[in-house]
Structure 1
Amino acid sequence: MFSSSKSRKSSLSPTSEQAPDLSITADDQVHLHAAGYNESPERAVINSMARFRSSPLDFIREISLHVSGTGWRSYDEIIGQPIFYSGFSEEMKNRVISNPMLVGKVRELAAKRVEVETKEGQLGEDVMNGGEGVGQSDRKRKRRIQIEESLMEVSEALTDSMICKMESKRFIRGAYYLATALLTRAYHQGVHVSSEEVLRLRAVAEKAQKDKHSIIFLPCHRSHVDYVSLQIICYRLGLALPTVVAGDNLNFPVVGAFLQHAGAMWIRRSFGDDQLYQTLVQAYIDTLLQNGYNLECFVEGGRSRTGKLLPPKFGILNYMVDSVASGRVDDAIICPVSTQYDKVIEVDSYISELLGQPKPKENLMDFLSASSVLSLKLGRVDVRFHEPWSLRKFVTEQQDRFSKLPKKLDLKDERQRICRTLGYKVLSDINDVSVVMPTALVGTVLLTLRGRGVGKSELIRKVEWLSERVRAQGGRVAHFASLPTSVVVERALEVLGSGLVGSVPELPEETFYAVDRFQLSFYRNMTIHLFIEQSLVSAALYTKVKLGGGREYQRMSYADLRGQVHFLSQLFRGEFIFPTEGLEVNLAQTIKTLEADDVIKVTRNPGNQHEVQFVELSDTERETGRESFDFYCFLIWPFIEAAWLGAISLMMLTPPVGAKKKTWLDQKKVQNRAQLFGKTLYHQGDLSYFEAVNKETLKNAYTRFEDEGTILVLKAKDSKVPTAIRLSDEWLPSRTPQKGDIDAKGELWTFAERISLSRREGKNRRDGATVKNRVLSLADRVGAELWEDAVIEEGLDEEGIKAVIVRAKGRSRRKRLTVPAML
Structure 2
Amino acid sequence: MTPKESDQSFIDRIARFRTQPLEFLREISLHVSGTGWRSYDHIIGQPVFYQGFSEKMKNNVMVHPNLQAKIAELAQKRVAVEDNDGLFGTGLDHRVKMDRRRRDIEKSLREVSEDLLDKMICKMESKRFIRGAYWLVTQLMLRIYNQGIHVSSEEVIRLREVAEQAAKKKQSIIFLPCHRSHIDYVSLQVICYRLGMTLPTVVAGDNLNFPVVGPFLQHAGAMWIRRSFGDDQLYTTIVQSYMDTLLANGFNVECFIEGGRSRTGKLLSPKFGILGFFMDSIYSGRVEDALVCPVSTQYDKVLEVDSYVSELLGQPKRKENLGDFLSSSSLLSLKLGRVDVRFHEPWSLRQFIDEQHARFTKMPPQINESDEHLDERVRLLRTFGYRVLKEINDVSVVMPTALIGTVLLTLRGRGVGKSELIRRVEWLSERVKSRGGRVAHLAGTETSVVVERGLQVLGPNLVGVQQGLAEETYYAVDRFQLSFYRNMTIHLFVLEALVSAGMYINVKQGGGPEQQRISYEDLRAQVSFLSRLFRGEFIFPTEGLEVNLSQTLKILEQDNVIKVVYTSTDPTKVDYVTLSDFERESGRENYDFYCFLIWPFVEASWLGAISLMMLTPPLGREPARLELNKVQNQAQLFGKTLYYQGDLSYIEAVNKETLKNAYQRFEDEGIIIVTKSRDKKIPVTVRLADEWTPPRDPESGRLLARGKLWEFADMISQSRREGKNRRDGATVKTRVLGLADKVGQALFDDAATAAQPPPHEDSKTVERPVSPTAGKAKRRRRGIMQSRSRL
Is it true that 1:279 corresponds to 2:264 in the alignment? no
Task: Give 1:247's aligned residue.
Answer: 205
SS at match of 2:530: helix
Q: Residue 804 of structure 1 aligns to which amino acid in structure 2?
A: E
Correspondence for 1:595: 557
CA distance in 2, matches of 1:805, 1:589: 38
- Aligned-partner SS, 2:565: strand
5 Å matches for 1:157-556?
157-372=115-330, 374-408=332-366, 410-556=372-518
Asked if 1 retains the 8 angstrom alpha-carbon contact of 2:679 and 2:763, the reply is no
Q: Which amino acid aligns with 1:542?
A: Y
Matched, 1:107 2:72: yes
Q: Is 1:796–2:764 an aligned residue pair?
A: no
In the alignment, is residue 666 of structure 1 matched against residue 627 of structure 2? Answer: yes
- Report the equivalent of 1:718: 679
Match of 1:50 in 2: 15
Quote the Cα distance in structure 2 between the aligned partners of 1:799 and 1:254. 43
Q: Answer yes or no: is the 8 Å Cα contact 1:48–1:180 preserved in 2.
A: no
Question: Partner residue of 1:785?
Answer: 746
CA distance in 2 between counterparts of 1:138 and 1:802 reads 40
Aligned partner of 1:740: which letter?
G
Change (3 A) 1:323 1:767: closer
Deviation readout 1:72-94 (Å, 9 max, x if unpaired): 11112111111122111100000
Compared CA separation, residues 549 and 801, structure 1 to 2 (3 A): farther
**Equivalences for 1:735-746 in 2 at 5 Å?**
735-746=696-707
Where structure 2 has 5 or more consecutive residues not aligned to the other structure, the ranges are none
* 3-state SS in 1 of match to 2:259: coil
- Map of 1:95 onto structure 2: 60
Q: Distance in 2 between matches of 1:802 and 1:75?
A: 54
Deviation for aligned residue 1:18 = 4.5
d(CA) in 1 for partners of 2:239, 2:346: 25
The 1:537/1:278 distance shift into structure 2, 3 A limit, reads: same
The 8 Å contact of residues 410 and 597 in structure 2, kept in 1 or not, is answered as yes
Match in the other structure for 1:656? 618
Letter aligned with residue 179 of structure 1: V
Q: Report the alpha carbon displacement of residue 566 of structure 1 after superposing the two structures with TM.
A: 0.3
Quote the Cα distance in structure 1 between the aligned partners of 2:572 and 2:3: 32
Equivalent residue, structure 2, for 1:688: 649
Equivalenced residue count is 780
Contact 1:339 1:381 survives alignment (8 Å): yes
CA distance in 2, matches of 1:187, 1:166: 27
Say if 1:374 and 1:421 are closer, same or farther in 2 by CA, change over 3 A.
Answer: farther
Percent sequence identity over aligned pairs: 68
Residue 185 of structure 1, CA deviation? 1.3
C-alpha offsets along residues 301-325 of structure 1, whole Å, 9 cap, x if unaligned?
A: 0000000000000000000000000
**Segment of structure 1 superposing worse, 618-627 or 283-292:** 618-627
The Cα of 1:806 is off from its aligned counterpart by 3.2
2:300/2:457 contact within 8 Å kept: yes
Pick closer, same or farther for the CA change 1:352–1:746 going to 2, 3 Å.
same
Shift of 1:763: 2.6
Once residues 774 and 141 of structure 2 are traced to their aligned partners in structure 1, the CA distance between those partners, rounded to angstroms, is 47
Q: Which amino acid aligns with 2:420?
A: E
- Bigger mean CA offset, 396-405 vs 340-349: 396-405
Q: Which residue of 2 aligns with 1:81?
A: 46
Code of the aligned partner of 1:716? S
Contact 2:396–2:438 (8 Å) recurs in 1: yes
Check conservation: 2:626, 2:686, Cα contact below 8 A: yes
Q: C-alpha distance in 2, partners of 1:569/1:797?
A: 40
| 1:276-314 deviation line (CA, Å, top 9, x unaligned) | 000000000000000000000000000000000000000
Q: Distance in 1 between matches of 2:279 and 2:673?
A: 32
RMSD value over aligned CA atoms?
1.8
Q: Does structure 1 retain, via aligned residues, the 8 Å contact 2:516–2:578?
A: yes
| Matches of 1:324 and 1:377, distance apart in 2 | 43
1:656-684 CA-to-partner distances (Å, cap 9, x unmatched) read 111112x1001110000000000000000
- What residue identity is the alignment partner of 2:690? D
CA 1:613–1:520 in 2, change beyond 3 Å: closer, same or farther?
same
Structure 1 811/488 Cα, relative in aligned 2: closer, same or farther at 3 Å?
farther
Do the aligned partners of residues 692 and 196 (structure 1) sit closer, same or farther apart at CA in structure 2, a change above 3 Å counting? same
Q: Deviations over 1:117-172 (max 9, x none)?
A: 1111222333xxxxxxx211111011000000000000011111100011211111
Offset, 1:764: 4.9
Partner of 2:709: 748
Deviation at 1:769, TM superposition (A): 1.2
TM score, norm. by length of structure 2: 0.96
CA contact (8 A) 1:709 1:812 kept: no
Question: d(CA) in 1 for partners of 2:764 and 2:82?
Answer: 32
- Is the 2:673–2:768 contact (alpha carbons within 8 Å) kept by the matching residues of 1? yes
Change (3 A) 1:217 1:807: farther
Q: Distance in 2 between matches of 1:273 and 1:288?
A: 24
| Distance in 2 of aligned mates of 1:693 and 1:76 | 52
**What does the per-residue CA deviation read over 1:688-747, in whole Å, with 9 as the maximum and x for residues that have no partner?**
000110111111111111111111111122111111110111111110123110110101
How many Å separate the matches in 1 of 2:465 and 2:489? Answer: 24
Q: 2:244 touches 2:281 (CA, 8 Å); kept in 1? A: yes
2:673 touches 2:770 (CA, 8 Å); kept in 1?
no
Matched, 1:822 2:790: yes
Indicate if the aligned counterparts of 1:708 and 1:808 stay in contact, CA closer than 8 A: no
Q: 1:423 to 1:603 in 2, by over 3 A?
A: same
The residue identity in structure 2 corresponding to 1:669 is K
Match among 769, 774, 782 for residue 735 of structure 2: 774
The residue correspondences of 1:566-585 to structure 2 (distance < 5 A) are 566-585=528-547
Q: Deviations over 1:764-798 (max 9, x none)?
A: 54551133211000001112221123378982356
Q: 1:69 aligns with which of 31, 34, 54?
A: 34
Q: Distance in 2 between matches of 1:648 and 1:639?
A: 14
Q: TM-score, normalised by structure 1?
A: 0.93
Matches for 1:695-734 after TM superposition, within 5 Å: 695-734=656-695
User: Aligned equivalents of 2:99 and 2:257: distance in 1?
Assistant: 44
Taking structure 1 as reference, are residues 459 and 245 closer, same or farther at Cα in structure 2, changes over 3 Å only?
A: same
* SS, match of residue 216 in structure 1: strand
CA contact (8 A) 1:48 1:188 kept: no
CA distance in 1, matches of 2:483, 2:764: 40
Question: Shift in Å at residue 810 of structure 1?
Answer: 4.3
Amino acid across the alignment from 1:261: H
Residue 505 of structure 1 and its aligned partner are, at CA, apart by 1.2
* Partners of 1:639 and 1:692 within 8 A in 2: yes
User: What is the alpha-carbon distance in structure 2 between the residues aligned to residue 533 and residue 747 of structure 1?
Assistant: 27
Cα distance change on mapping 1:800 and 1:89 into 2, 3 Å: closer
- Cα separation, partners in 2 of 1:17 and 1:610, compared to 1, 3 Å: farther
